[in-house]
Amino acid sequence: MRVLIIGVGTRGDVAPYAGLGVRLREAGHEVAIAAHEPYAESVTDAGLEHLPLPGDPLSALTGRISIGAFKEYSEQLMDGLTRIAEQQEADLLLLGVAGAQGSHVAEAMGVPSMGVHLQPIDPTGEFPPVMSLFQGSLGRWGNRRAARLAFEVPAAGPLIAGMSAKMRARLGLPPMTPRDLYRRRESTHWPVFHGVSPLVLPRPADWRPGLEITGYWWPLQPRDWRPDPVLRDFLASGPTPVFVGFGSLAGTRAEQYTDLAVQALRRAGLRGVLQTGLRGHISDDVLAVGDVPHDWLFPRMAAVAHHCGSGTTGAGVRAGVPAVAVPVMNDQPFWASRLTALGVAPAAIPFRRLTPARLAAALTSAVTDPAYRQRAQALSVRVSAEDGAAPVIEAVNRLRVTRGPGRRPG
């Protein structure tokens, strides 16, 4: 079968889909990933076909985008997805949370689709909507209702609804309101697989059938990647350092965030590897790096302080080292709360409240309290034994049996 993954998002979203795509290819399927141009390398390094999407959501995620610019990005995304519907062939579409508009693409192409989500957005009473600005529980009824409203009345309101309507019109599809689309999704028990460990996020007991938590989809190391000798020398030159990184936010104020991290490390008396937007030796005890595969770097750290994106959270859990959670936005406070609940991290520090003193105290606690490392190592053993891609492959294989071997692209 030809499987098309709609990988809308930044590198942290695309990389797990590339890992999943490789597993699907090994199972005998042809795989293409639609991703924004800046993150094409994550796809091509995995030996998969890249379908370019225009634009870059990074500025939207870092809060530096106006309503007009957001509309422009949405228009670009709509154009890119529409071209895929018009120019590509596929037997199955796999859709991430941010690629929800891909459901229109699948409908226009006349092929089935499944969700491959990195965040749990479906209604449950067990926690509030993870992508909302409000993080406190609303009670079981309130949590479920708020999550359902997020489907029926999108946060961006008329803008998103208008884009959806325009896209359906361009694809020759009948009009459908967000509420109608949600009802169809639920009435058909549209399948959604979540690329996170059930040990990190147990499946909510009130979820409907068809919503599954499979285990992580691990990214691949870049082809022919080798660690920089400067990094290797730094790791060997003294006590085990800690990692401090702020994900996609890092590039926005690199010097400010680097200075904050350096002050925290000095207060704590720790060596550090920073991923804060700069590169090179900051001092004898602090090295700033660019992109380094987390599955190589994190196991070599005494602790990892990070923004708690879904992929980074998974990499830290897999590495078996204590975490310091510094969530910024969207689903990150949710993953931070999970790390704390699992006992592998001290209390989270929301990024807006981050100071050198608070970061130093949390790093010291994570490094010196052996209970954090013991729990992290025990969790790592169990998570590493999971095969999160297997349930997705099984579902795709079942579909191949019912639909036939599939078509080659024209």
Strand partners for 213: 194
- Fold exhibited by the domain 229-384: Rossmann fold (3.40.50)
For residue 365, what are its two tokens? Answer: 């606690």
pLDDT in tens, 262-290: 999 999 999 999 999 899 999 999 999 99
Strand partners for 339: none
Return phi, psi of residue 369, to 5°: -90, 110
For residue 304, what pLDDT is reported? 98
For residue 331, what are its two tokens? Answer: 């689903």
Nearest one of 38, 112, 46 to 76, comparing CA atoms: 38
Angle between helices 310-319 and 332-341 (to 10 degrees): 20
Residue 196 near residue 118, CB atoms below 8 Å: yes
Residue 234 near residue 309, CB atoms below 8 Å: no
For residue 229, what are its two tokens? Answer: 């000798």
3-state secondary structure 227-252: CCHHHHHHHHCCCCCEEEECHHHHHH
Residue 325 near residue 339, CB atoms below 8 Å: yes
For residue 98, what pLDDT is reported? 86
Q: What is the pTM assigned to this prediction?
A: 0.93
Residue 69 near residue 244, CB atoms below 8 Å: no
Nearest one of 36, 17, 334, 370 to 193, comparing CA atoms: 17
Token look-up 């709509």 returns 78
pLDDT in tens, 362-389: 999 999 999 999 999 999 999 999 999 9
Beta-carbon neighbour count of residue 266 at 10 Å? Answer: 15
**DSSP letter (8 states) at residue 188:** T
User: Which SS3 state, helix, strand or coil, does residue 50 take?
Assistant: strand
Across 262-317, the runs of DSSP E, i.e. the strands, are 272-275, 280-283, 286-288, 304-306
User: Which SS3 state, helix, strand or coil, does residue 259 take?
Assistant: helix
Beta strands at 286-288 and 272-275: parallel, antiparallel or unpaired: parallel
For residue 250, what pLDDT is reported? 62
Beta strands at 280-283 and 286-288: parallel, antiparallel or unpaired: antiparallel
Region 27-46: mean pLDDT is 95
Whether 23 shows a pLDDT value over 60: the answer reads yes
**DSSP letter (8 states) at residue 347:** S
Longest CA–CA span in the chain (Å) reads 64
Q: What is the CA radius of gyration of the chain?
A: 21
For residue 406, what pLDDT is reported? 56
d(CA 224, CA 167): 40
What percentage of the chain has pLDDT greater than the value 70?
A: 92
d(CA 157, CA 162): 9
For residue 159, what pLDDT is reported? 54
For residue 249, what pLDDT is reported? 67
Residue 364 near residue 268, CB atoms below 8 Å: yes
User: Which SS3 state, helix, strand or coil, does residue 166 take?
Assistant: helix
For residue 409, what pLDDT is reported? 39
Whether 405 shows a pLDDT value over 60: the answer reads no
d(CA 212, CA 198): 9
d(CA 372, CA 346): 8
pLDDT in tens, 105-134: 999 999 999 999 999 999 999 999 998 766
Whether 410 shows a pLDDT value over 50: the answer reads no
d(CA 320, CA 298): 8
Whether 395 shows a pLDDT value over 60: the answer reads yes
pLDDT in tens, 46-87: 999 999 999 888 765 555 556 777 788 888 999 999 999 999
d(CA 102, CA 298): 34
- Between 11 and 49, the more confident residue is 49
For residue 9, what are its two tokens? Answer: 């998002």
Token look-up 């606690």 returns 365
The ranges of the chain annotated as CATH 3.40.50.2000 are 2-118+153-217+388-403, 229-384
Whether 245 shows a pLDDT value over 60: the answer reads yes
Whether 223 shows a pLDDT value over 90: the answer reads no
CATH class given for the domain over 2-118+153-217+388-403: alpha beta
For residue 60, what pLDDT is reported? 58
For residue 275, what pLDDT is reported? 94
For residue 161, what pLDDT is reported? 63
Region 146-154: mean pLDDT is 83
Q: Is residue 67 classed exposed, middle or buried when 0-12, 13-18 and 19+ CB atoms within 10 A define those classes?
A: exposed
The secondary structure element, H or E, covering residue 115 is: strand 113-117
Residue 194 near residue 200, CB atoms below 8 Å: no
For residue 316, what pLDDT is reported? 97
What are the CA-CA distances from residue 12 to residues 117, 312, 339 (Å)? 13, 8, 18
For residue 408, what pLDDT is reported? 43
pLDDT in tens, 299-343: 999 999 999 999 999 999 999 999 999 998 889 999 999 999 999
For residue 68, what pLDDT is reported? 72
For residue 282, what pLDDT is reported? 96
How much is the mean pLDDT over the chain? Answer: 91
